[in-house]
Amino acid sequence: MFTIRQILQERSDTEAWSVSPQDTVLQALQLMSEKNIGAVIVVGKGQMIGIFSERDFARKAIQQGKCSLESPVSDAMTREMITINAEQTLEESLRVMTEHHIRHLPVMENGRLVGMVSMRDVMEAIIFKKDTTIESLENYILGKEHPR
């Protein structure tokens, strides 16, 4: 069973990038661009209080006109945090993302943030897992030695 922990362990950069609620939307977007990520955790007083994503910017800042690039992230962030545990399976994580229409999930362990995964991370891992299973089955059927 492939878990979220395995995705995090295979990464070279495991940091879940964060901003403060007072940082501007522009500062958050610049960090996201610099790190090539689609979302950042919003941390206030040492606690995770929200998440800010490209979708938040597009929906709240652009569509609803609720904030500008100079607005604090707290005006545009999503406050209802949906998280997963590092031991959850890929399929469970994908189900959570699909049910809640989200693309980024903070990963928690023992009450602390240990990383974040995106829908792309999960889908790539699922595809890799399926490809490996298919290859193993083909080798078994053809009588070839299983790759190790």
pLDDT (tens digit per residue) in 81-128: 999 999 999 999 999 999 999 999 999 999 889 999 999 999 999 898
Residue 148 lies in a domain: no
Asked whether 73 and 30 are in contact (CB, 8 A), the reply is: no
How far, in Å, CA of 53 to CA of 76, rounded? 9
Question: For residue 84, what is the domain's CATH number?
Answer: 3.10.580.10
The better pLDDT of the pair 129, 103 is held by 103
Average pLDDT, the chain: 89
**Mean pLDDT calculated for residue range 133-147:** 76
The SS3 assignment for 76 reads coil
Query: Does the structure show a pLDDT above 80 at 61?
Result: no
Residue 147 lies in a domain: no
What's the confidence (pLDDT) of residue 148? Answer: 53
Query: Does the structure show a pLDDT above 70 at 16?
Result: yes
Q: Tell me which residue range forms the domain holding 91.
A: 4-142
Cut 0.75: pTM above it: yes
Query: Does the structure show a pLDDT above 80 at 147?
Result: no
Name the domain count of the chain: 1
Nearest-5° Cα angle at 79, 86 to 125: 30
